[in-house]
């Protein structure tokens, strides 16, 4: 088998690290050597996370950051653009496994590569039905096992036992369903001698912000930080679902505005047309999708059912 190098990308809270631990543990149960070496960042919910997992039939002594993976696993289709450098680095003939509720052909278009296997599954839907949580890691483990031929499903169950110690059967049911139902789009052409478009650089990929990466002579003395703003950190990217309002049902009670933990419910002026064609402006509830995290509190508290949550990934 040689050595399989994989990169897992997702957001804090999606269980990326746990997923690599589970696959590595299961591969070790199967008799392989494996090492799960996540990149540890700020460990903040929603922050981009990248984890490495290497499986080999020989002992692995080097914890080399992976530059050209055989497999990339993407926990959230909204990360595709942000993580384009990972998808571009997958070796021709390799695999890109993506959690998405979109039709597989549409996902293929977004990925825009035709020299790799693209594996699509709605891991959120599967996880919700079996685990009752938005954690796509169990289903993604199942899809991994399906296309890579390892680790064995039974070993994944044992790894759930070791790594989670709870909800083993629920997680395993999700893994199994993904194993059976994930859609695999084979590559149109594979030139095994070709190199991928890019490599993943060793420097942390998550230096993302409105700042310049400067040399030591130019950083602030003492690491002093000046007053700033969180406006640059568009937390809306974390959403699985977004709130959508039916203005006809809204009674402008503003309960959603009161309860929104992120100040993402806004009162906006909306131009409407009256019955006799007269245009006038009226206040209406809207959402600031740059910062709405999709927690669905607004939909919960809405007394008229005007707010519905709609799947985004």
Partner 1 sequence: MMQATLRERQIEQKRIALTGNHAVALAVKMARPEVIAAYPITPQTPVVERLAEYVNNGELDAEFIPVESEHSAMSAVIGASAAGARTFTETSSQGLGHMYENLPIAVGMRLPIVMGVAARTYSAPINVWGDYGDVMSMRELGWIIYIAQTAQEAFDTVVQAYRVAEDARVHLPVVVAYDGFWTSHVLQPLDVPADEEEVLKFAPITRNWVRLDVDNPTQLGAVGTPEWYWEIRWQAVEALRNSAKVIEEVDVEYGRRFGRSYGLVTRYMLEDAEVAVVAYGSIFGLVKKAVDRLRKEGIRAGALRLRVIRPWPTWHLQKYLSHVEKVLVIDRSINHGGPQLGPMAVEVGATLGRVIHCALATVGMRAIDSDMIYEAALKTHKGLWVAGETYTVGLRGGYE
Which residue lies nearer to partner 1 by CB, 162 or 308? 162
Contacts 24+ apart (CB under 8 A), 57-62: 57/1, 57/2, 57/3, 57/32, 57/33, 58/3, 58/33, 59/33, 60/3, 60/33, 60/34, 60/35
Q: Which residues contact 154 (CB under 8 A, 6 or more apart)?
A: none
Q: Which residues of 123-147 are buried (b: 16+ CB within 10 A; e: fewer)?
A: bbbbbbebbeebbbbbbbbbbbbbe
Candidate ranges 63-71, 101-109, 116-124, 140-148; the one touching partner 1 (CB under 8 A): 63-71
Asked if 25 is part of the footprint of partner 1 (rule: CB under 8 A), the reply reads: yes
Answer for which of 61, 180, 271, 273 binds partner 1 (CB under 8 A) is 61
Q: Does residue 213 bind partner 1 (CB under 8 A)?
A: yes
Contact string 168-207 vs partner 1 (x = CB under 8 A): ----------------------------------xxx---
Query: Which of 2, 186, 192, 223 contacts partner 1 by CB under 8 A?
Result: 223
Per CB under 8 A, the list member of 16, 34, 90, 127 interacting with partner 1 is: 34
Q: Is the distance from CB of 48 to CB of 39 less than 8 angstroms?
A: no
| Closer by beta carbon to partner 1, 28 or else 285 | 28
Residues pairing with 183 in the sheet: 120
Contact pick of 2, 189, 211, 217 for partner 1 (by CB under 8 A): 217
CA distance 94 to 117: 6
Binding site for partner 1 (CB under 8 A): 17, 20-21, 24-25, 28-29, 33-40, 60-65, 67, 159, 162, 202-204, 213-218, 222-223
């Amino acid at each position: 088998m040689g050595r399989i190098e994989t990169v897992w990308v997702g957001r804090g809270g999606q269980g990326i690290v746990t997923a690599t631990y589970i696959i590595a543990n299961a591969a070790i149960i199967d008799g392989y050597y494996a090492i799960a070496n996540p990149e540890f960042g700020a460990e903040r919910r929603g922050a981009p996370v990248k984890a490495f997992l290497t499986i080999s039939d020989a002992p692995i002594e080097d914890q080399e950051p992976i530059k050209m993976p055989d497999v990339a696993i993407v926990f959230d289709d909204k990360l595709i653009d942000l993580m384009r450098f990972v998808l571009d680095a997958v070796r021709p003939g390799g695999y890109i496994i993506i959690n998405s509720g979109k039709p597989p052909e549409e996902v293929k278009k977004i990925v825009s590569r035709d020299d790799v296997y693209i594996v699509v599954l709605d891991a959120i839907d599967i996880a919700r039905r079996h685990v009752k949580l938005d954690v796509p890691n169990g289903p993604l483990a199942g899809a991994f096992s399906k296309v890579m031929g390892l680790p064995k499903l039974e070993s994944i169950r044992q790894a759930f036992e070791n790594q989670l110690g709870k909800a083993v059967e629920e997680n395993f049911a999700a893994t199994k369903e993904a194993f059976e139902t994930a859609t695999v789009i084979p590559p149109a052409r594979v030139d095994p001698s070709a190199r991928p478009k890019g490599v993943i650089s060793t420097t942390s990929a998550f230096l993302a912000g409105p700042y310049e990466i400067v040399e030591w002579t130019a950083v602030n003395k003492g690491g002093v930080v000046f007053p700033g703003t969180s406006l640059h950190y568009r937390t809306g990217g974390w959403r699985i679902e977004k709130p959508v309002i039916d203005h006809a049902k809204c009674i402008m009670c503003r309960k959603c505005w009161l309860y929104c933990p992120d100040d993402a419910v806004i009162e906006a002026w909306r131009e409407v047309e009256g019955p006799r064609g007269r245009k006038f402006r009226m206040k209406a509830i809207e959402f600031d999708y740059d910062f709405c995290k999709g927690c669905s509190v607004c939909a919960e508290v809405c007394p008229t059912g005007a707010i519905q949550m709609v799947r985004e990934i």
